[in-house]
């Protein structure tokens, strides 16, 4: 038991990442959100509203917070109850819609009421026309439903018109264009290439290229057989190696990455550097992370905490 206790202190799953206010809210909600009573709905809704109203026009932070809350509240009645009680509250509408999409994604199916989800997003967009988050949810819904690319890119453009470098939107498009969904490997490469010429190095979506490389690596592992055995060679290919080279040293510099999902992106970097056997560079990333673990990409190999800690030990042994 002592080992397990110290293990959890060293590394931890923290969906809020470094957002301390969000972390405090999640701890508060866990004790109250599952009862579904009117009083509970009012209390939780007030707490969520206070958080979302902080820096309300920080679209990157708002997107992160709503994404985490939606994933956290998928099995509760709170988002639906709040939206029903306050049908002209953009926060309530977006959270309810995003929760529906998150639940469908988790269950591997379609939302229970896709038309209602669309309606919630469009009403939120009307109430808060500058807010990208209703369109981020619509983009994820279009992705789930495998909509035609012309429709998906139309929603994508609505997000970009409001938040040019929205992290969730870029990652969602990366998934949609993959061969596992509605695109191809060529389309993924074209999408990533189109970003390189115009994307600043430290914007919220900076990990799009590296994420594409890790997903390709996972594809090779999933095929099994010889391809899985030689999958590590992926990181010696020019495109993958260059993707790592471009970010390995800059991302760990204090203050370089300032967006809400920075620790998630650093998890991706630590994973990729470990897979590429670039241990010294990986060690610096693990030091920066301070034990904050994200499920993806570590869960590809098993329990994320176990995989993270094993990789961290290997990186330290390489010094």
Instruction: List the domain boundaries for the chain.
Output: 9-176, 203-319
Instruction: Summarize the chain as % helix, strand, coil (round to 5).
Output: 70, 0, 30
**pLDDT tens string 44-91:** 999 999 999 998 899 999 999 999 999 999 988 899 999 999 999 999
Q: In the prediction, which pLDDT does 1 show?
A: 35
Q: 16: pLDDT confidence band, cut at 50, 70 and 90?
A: very high
Dist. CA 118–CA 107, nearest whole Å: 19
Q: How far apart are CA 113 and CA 130, in angstroms?
A: 25
Q: What is the mean pLDDT of the chain?
A: 92
Its CATH class, for the domain covering 9-176, is mainly alpha
Q: Give tens-digit pLDDT for 238-251.
A: 999 999 999 999 99
Whether the predicted model's global pTM rises above the 0.75 cut: yes
DSSP string, 37-79: -HHHHHHHHHHHHHHHHTTTT-HHHHHHHHHHHHHHTTTSSHH
């Amino acid at each position: 038991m002592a080992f397990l206790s110290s293990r959890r202190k060293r590394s931890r799953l923290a969906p809020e990442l470094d957002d301390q206010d969000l972390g405090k809210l999640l701890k508060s909600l866990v004790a109250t959100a599952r009862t579904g009573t009117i009083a509970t709905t009012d209390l939780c809704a007030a707490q969520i509203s206070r958080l979302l109203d902080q820096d309300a026009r920080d679209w990157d932070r708002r997107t992160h917070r709503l994404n985490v809350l939606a994933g956290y509240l998928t099995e509760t009645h709170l988002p639906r109850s709040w939206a029903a009680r306050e049908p002209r509250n953009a926060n309530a509408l977006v959270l309810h819609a995003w929760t529906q999409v998150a639940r469908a994604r988790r269950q591997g199916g379609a939302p229970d009421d896709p038309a209602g989800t669309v309606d919630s997003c469009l009403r939120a967009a009307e109430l808060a026309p500058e807010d990208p988050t209703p369109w981020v949810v619509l983009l994820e819904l279009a992705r789930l439903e495998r909509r035609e690319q012309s429709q998906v890119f139309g929603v994508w453009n609505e997000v970009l018109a409001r938040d040019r470098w929205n992290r969730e939107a870029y990652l969602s498009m990366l998934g949609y264009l993959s061969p596992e969904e509605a695109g191809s490997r060529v389309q993924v490469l074209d999408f990533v290439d189109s970003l390189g010429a115009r994307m600043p190095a430290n914007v919220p979506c900076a990990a799009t290229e590296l994420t594409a490389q890790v997903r390709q690596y996972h594809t090779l592992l999933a095929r099994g057989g010889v391809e899985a055995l030689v999958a590590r060679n992926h990181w010696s290919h020019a495109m993958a190696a260059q993707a790592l080279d471009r970010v390995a040293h800059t991302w760990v510099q204090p203050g370089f990455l300032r967006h809400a999902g920075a620790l998630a992106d650093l998890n991706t970097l630590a994973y990729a550097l470990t897979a590429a056997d670039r241990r010294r560079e990986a060690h610096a990333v693990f030091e920066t992370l301070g034990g904050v673990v994200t499920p993806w990409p570590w869960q590809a190999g098993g329990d994320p905490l176990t995989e993270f800690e094993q990789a961290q030990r290997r990186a330290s042994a390489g010094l």
